């Protein structure tokens, strides 16, 4: 796995797991691989993986059983969507609209671009 963008790697790992949960890769209560395995697989420092898991745990998306491993929480999918919606509406949207307005883009122009990018 390559971490090419400038955001902190642990944030990218978080997103990666959220995406997988949204896409149904993990069931509720399912055990996910050990920090060590994930760190190896992702070619990442174990501390970095741990940091990501901690944050997922704080948001109620994972839970931890000492000596056993991390598990996908009940309602993890809802929690993920809720978290992302909150971030999106509170942080991305205002900034996005501000820039959009400043650069003179209209909603319909962006819709055009959207369609182009998703063809």
Which residues contribute to the site for a copy of itself (CB under 8 A)? 8-9, 19, 22, 66, 81, 84-85, 88-89, 92-97, 99-103, 105, 107, 110-111, 113-114, 117-118
Query: Distances in Å between the alpha carbon of 115 and those of 36, 99, 108, 111?
Result: 41, 20, 11, 6
* Binds 64: which of DNA, a copy of itself, none (CB < 5-8 Å by kind): DNA
Is position 87 an interface residue for DNA (rule: CB under 7 A)? no
Among residues 14, 18, 21, 53, the one that binds DNA under rule CB under 7 A: 53
Is position 16 an interface residue for DNA (rule: CB under 7 A)? no
Size of site (CB under 7 A) for DNA = 25
* Binds 116: which of DNA, a copy of itself, none (CB < 5-8 Å by kind): none
- Residues ≥6 apart with Cβ < 8 Å to 26: 20, 32, 72, 76
Task: Give me the half-sphere count of Cα atoms (radius 13 Å) on the Cβ side of residue 33.
Answer: 11
Q: How far apart are CA 57 and CA 29, in angstroms?
A: 13
State in Å, rounded, how far the first CA of the chain is from the last one.
26
Total Cβ atoms within 10 A of residue 28: 12
Is position 56 an interface residue for DNA (rule: CB under 7 A)? no
Shortest distance (Å) from residue 67 CB to DNA: 2
Residues binding DNA (CB under 7 A): 3, 8-11, 34-37, 43-48, 50-51, 53-54, 64, 66-70
């Amino acid at each position: 796995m390559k971490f090419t963008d400038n955001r902190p790697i642990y944030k990218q790992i978080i997103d990666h797991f959220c995406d997988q949960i949204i896409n149904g890769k993990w069931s509720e209560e399912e055990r996910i691989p050990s920090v060590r395995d994930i760190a190896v697989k992702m070619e990442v420092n174990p501390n970095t993986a741990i940091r990501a898991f901690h944050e997922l745990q704080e948001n109620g998306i994972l839970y931890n059983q000492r000596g056993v491993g991390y598990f996908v929480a009940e309602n993890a999918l809802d929690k993920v969507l809720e978290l992302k919606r909150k971030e999106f509406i509170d942080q991305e949207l205002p900034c996005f609209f501000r820039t959009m307005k400043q650069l003179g883009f209209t909603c319909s122009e962006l819709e055009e671009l959207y369609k182009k990018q998703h063809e």
